[in-house]
Amino acid sequence: MQQLIDRIRRDGVVKPGNVLKVDSFLNHQMDIELINEIGKEFKRRFSDVDITKIVTIEASGIGIACIAAQYFHVPVVFAKKAKSVNIDGEVLTTQIESYTHKRVYDVIIAKKFISPKDRVLIIDDFLANGCALLGLIELVACAGASIEGIGIVIEKGFQSGGEVIREMGMRLESLAIVEGMDDKTGEVFFRNEV
Ligand code: 5GP
């Protein structure tokens, strides 16, 4: 998605440790017009699938998922990062290691919000090593729902997540795939820049 790539080039900040900061337009301050175009693009790419629910993870995924959901006309369910897990049978739970915060979270989704009849689109802002996504996939699979697709705003193609997820046979659409970054010059290189 060229508009997104142009914006990453203009306003993205490359930090040491392969971290791309996009907090001026995507995951802190949010450019709603851009995110609206992102929502439309997800709808265009998944227009052939009948989605009943969008699943994401707090916090950064929520705003993006909500805007996309207006084009799919479905509810959004977000996995919550829980400090302590109440294992009372009413929640699905897994653990996710945060790439940016370097800590492990318990994440939960209430069982009642995803049923085996659901056809789910998972949406998130970043895909790096795939830990967040694998956790979400596990939660949706535990609910017995089918995963029809995964929409990612920025995939870091030089990290393993994308390959792992595609090898699982998942339909993964990333709107911008970063192939490399240089924290000295601030340059960002993209795959298939069209
Ligand atoms: P993963 O679990 O795939 O390693 O990382 C995915 C999560 O880590 C995303 O939900 C995102 O919040 C965060 N993340 C990973 N890499 C980056 C990055 O380069 N920049 C930012 N801002 N977040 C990242």
Pocket of ligand 1 (CB under 6 A): 19-22, 27, 60, 99-100, 124-133, 156, 161
Do residues 69 and 34 lie in contact, with contact meaning Cβ atoms separated by under 8 Å?
no
Which ligand 1 atom sits nearest the alpha carbon of residue 127?
3
Using CA atoms, how far apart are residues 127 and 141, in angstroms rounded to an integer?
A: 19
pLDDT at 131 over 50: yes
Dihedral over alpha carbons 194, 131, 44, 143 (to 10 degrees): 170
Q: State residue 87's pLDDT score.
A: 55
**How much of the chain, in percent, has pLDDT values that exceed 90?**
89
Q: What does the buried/exposed string (b/e) look like for 152-188 if buried means 16 or more CB atoms within 10 Å of the residue's CB?
A: bbbbbbebebbebbeeeeeebbbbbbbeebeeeeeeb
CB contact set of 168 (below 8 Å; sequence gap of 6+): 137
Using CA atoms, how far apart are residues 12 and 20, in angstroms rounded to an integer?
A: 7
Question: What integer best gives the mean pLDDT of the chain?
Answer: 94
Centre of ligand 1 from the C-alpha of residue 1, in Å: 19
Centre of ligand 1 from the C-alpha of residue 131, in Å: 9
Q: State residue 25's pLDDT score.
A: 98
Q: State residue 83's pLDDT score.
A: 66
The stretch 179-183 carries a mean pLDDT of 95
Q: At 120, give phi and psi (nearest 5°).
A: -105, 140
- Tell me the pLDDT tens digit for each residue of 18-51: 999 999 999 999 999 999 999 999 999 999 999 9
Q: State residue 179's pLDDT score.
A: 97
pTM for this prediction: 0.95
